[in-house]
């Protein structure tokens, strides 16, 4: 069963969403907690460790974005709910799995849930492949696990599972090869110091890239690296020479 938490400051909205989940996904999802505000939501997430959170964007005591900023690592999926369509773009920027406009339509909910299930299945398959490769070559120390500090301790991530890192103010978002990402309360400079320099390169003030996942360099309309997932990241002018040297030496 997928553990789910609903966070919304409107009781009718909380109850309606729970009824939809119970009615259409009774054997797949269980709502472990319904929360009325950010504080209750934060403590419930820490306690229940949900797989999926339905999170209202605009609440009386803050926004859903404010709640996420309280976590060093966001290790659960988020589906934003909002009555305000103008928040949709911001929800996408926050790397949410999906967003639902209120009043929530059952078909939109079904689509969001299917997206969650598909992503989970894909992640599980990648985890199985990664575990197999690690068991085949347990003595490989080229890609050590990096200990990233979190509020509760440390999150251990193997360096070759990181595709790139992006600065977000005093925070950094880590993008993994499996398509997931999480936020750390650390600057990109600090993360750069932790990761192996023979694989990672700071190509811009906002981007740190694992060169193993670069598939193309282009200089049309600027300088860019294209990664294996087809994301295109800018290269700072002062970094152009260093980037070219590192790519060519590989």
Tokens for 166, please give them. 């992006």
Q: How confident is the model at residue 137 (pLDDT cuts 50, 70, 90)?
A: very low
Q: In the predicted model, what is the mean pLDDT of residues 194-209? A: 93
What residue segments make up the domains of the chain, in order of their start?
2-120, 145-249
Of 50-54, 107-111, 121-125, 208-212, which range is least confident?
121-125
Q: Name the CATH architecture for the domain at 145-249.
A: Beta Barrel (2.40)
The CA distance from 230 to 210, in Å, is 14
Q: Could you read off the pLDDT of 8-29 as tens digits, one per residue? A: 999 999 999 999 999 999 989 9
The CA distance from 205 to 124, in Å, is 33
Tokens for 140, please give them. 């490989």
Tell me which residue of 216, 249, 210, 212 sits closest to 232, measured CA to CA.
Answer: 216
Query: Which CATH code fits 2-120?
Result: 3.40.50.2300
Same fold, 2-120 and 145-249: no
pTM here? 0.54
Tell me which residue of 242, 246, 165, 239 sits closest to 199, measured CA to CA.
Answer: 246
Q: Does residue 138 register a pLDDT over 80?
A: no
Tokens for 179, please give them. 């398509």
Predicted confidence at residue 143, as pLDDT, reads: 60
Predicted confidence at residue 136, as pLDDT, reads: 46
Strands 2-7, 29-35: pairing is parallel
Predicted confidence at residue 221, as pLDDT, reads: 85
Predicted confidence at residue 88, as pLDDT, reads: 60
């Amino acid at each position: 069963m997928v553990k789910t938490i609903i966070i919304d400051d409107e009781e009718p909205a909380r109850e309606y969403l729970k009824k939809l989940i119970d009615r259409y996904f009774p054997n797949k999802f269980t709502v472990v907690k319904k929360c009325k505000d950010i504080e209750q939501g934060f403590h419930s997430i820490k306690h229940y460790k949900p797989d999926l959170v339905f999170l209202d964007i605009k609440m009386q005591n803050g926004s859903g974005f404010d709640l996420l900023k309280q976590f060093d690592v966001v290790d659960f999926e988020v589906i934003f709910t909002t009555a305000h369509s103008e928040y949709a773009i911001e929800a996408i920027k926050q790397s949410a799995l999906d967003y639902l406009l209120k009043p929530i339509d059952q078909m939109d909910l079904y689509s969001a849930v299917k997206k969650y299930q598909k992503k989970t299945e894909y992640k599980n398959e990648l985890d199985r492949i990664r575990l197999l490769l690690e068991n085949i070559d347990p003595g490989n120390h080229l890609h050590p696990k990096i200990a990233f500090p979190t509020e509760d301790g440390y999150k251990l991530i193997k360096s070759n599972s990181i595709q790139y890192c992006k600065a977000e103010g005093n925070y950094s978002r880590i993008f993994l090869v499996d398509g997931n990402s999480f936020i750390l309360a650390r600057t990109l400079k600090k993360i750069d110091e932790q990761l192996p320099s023979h694989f990672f390169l700071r190509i811009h003030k906002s981007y740190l890239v694992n060169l193993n996942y670069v598939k193309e360099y282009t200089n049309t309309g600027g300088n860019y690296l294209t990664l294996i997932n087809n994301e295109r990241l800018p290269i700072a002018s002062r970094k152009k020479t260093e980037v070219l040297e590192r790519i060519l030496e590989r």
